[in-house]
């Protein structure tokens, strides 16, 4: 797992805020319970809203990431809104050449949960990272990973952009 801080430019972040504000009022969200492989859903309470990113916004984000992305043939960007109680079981994203996460919450407390956690084969301990605003985590080694459950009384949703490349 590689981490890159301050990955998106201010203008891109501004446009993401506008896009999310508009999308929160539209019926453009799918639900992880129906869209994800059933093995990824950790409990009956684990729900993540998902909405694909297209057009100019997708191009802006890819441009900002271009210096750190490995080569790819196709790439998909998706907003994920992680509700209290949501999590994802350990998985390795085997279908993709690489995956990544951009964290969009300006303030996230470790007590809320929602930590990205992984352990390489030869490691004895797990590594976890806190979702830090405008940080991109790149998984190009298909390292098995998971997101810990978000506590039920978290002050706000955990908001990310997921990157899936083939």
Which residues pair with residue 49 across a beta bridge? Answer: 31, 81
User: Do residues 79 and 138 lie in contact, with contact meaning Cβ atoms separated by under 8 Å?
Assistant: no
pLDDT per residue as tens digits for the range 81-106:
998 888 888 888 889 999 999 999 99
Range of the domain at 155: 2-165
Alpha-carbon distance of 138 to 116, in angstroms, equals: 12
Residue 34 above 70 pLDDT? no
Q: Specify the pLDDT at position 37.
A: 66
> Residue 161: pLDDT band by 50, 70, 90 thresholds?
very high
Q: Specify the pLDDT at position 131.
A: 94
Q: CATH number for the domain including 25? A: 2.60.120.620
Closest to 87 (Cα-Cα) out of 113, 67, 109, 64? 113
Q: Report angle CA 147, 104, 66 to the nearest 5 degrees.
A: 95
How many separate domains does the chain show?
1
Give the pTM: 0.88
Question: Helix/strand/coil (H, E, C) string of 126-161?
Answer: CEEECCCCCCEEEECCCCCEEECCCCCCCCCCEEEE
pLDDT per residue as tens digits for the range 133-159:
999 999 998 989 999 999 988 888 999
């Amino acid at each position: 797992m590689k981490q890159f801080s301050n990955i998106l430019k201010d203008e891109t972040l501004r446009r993401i805020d506008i896009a999310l504000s508009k999308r929160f009022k539209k019926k453009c969200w799918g639900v992880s319970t129906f869209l994800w492989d059933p093995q990824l859903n950790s409990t009956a309470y684990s729900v993540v809203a998902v909405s694909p990113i297209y057009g100019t916004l997708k191009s802006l984000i890819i441009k900002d990431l271009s210096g750190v992305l490995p080569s790819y043939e196709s790439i998909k960007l998706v907003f994920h809104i992680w509700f209290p109680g949501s999590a994802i079981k350990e998985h390795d994203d085997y279908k993709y050449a690489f995956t990544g996460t951009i964290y969009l919450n300006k303030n996230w407390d470790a007590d809320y949960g929602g930590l990205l956690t992984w352990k390489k084969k030869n490691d004895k301990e797990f590594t976890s990272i806190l979702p830090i605003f405008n940080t991109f985590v790149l998984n190009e080694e298909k390292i098995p990973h998971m997101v810990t459950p978000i506590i039920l009384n978290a002050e706000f949703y955990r908001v990310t952009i997921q990157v899936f490349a083939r």
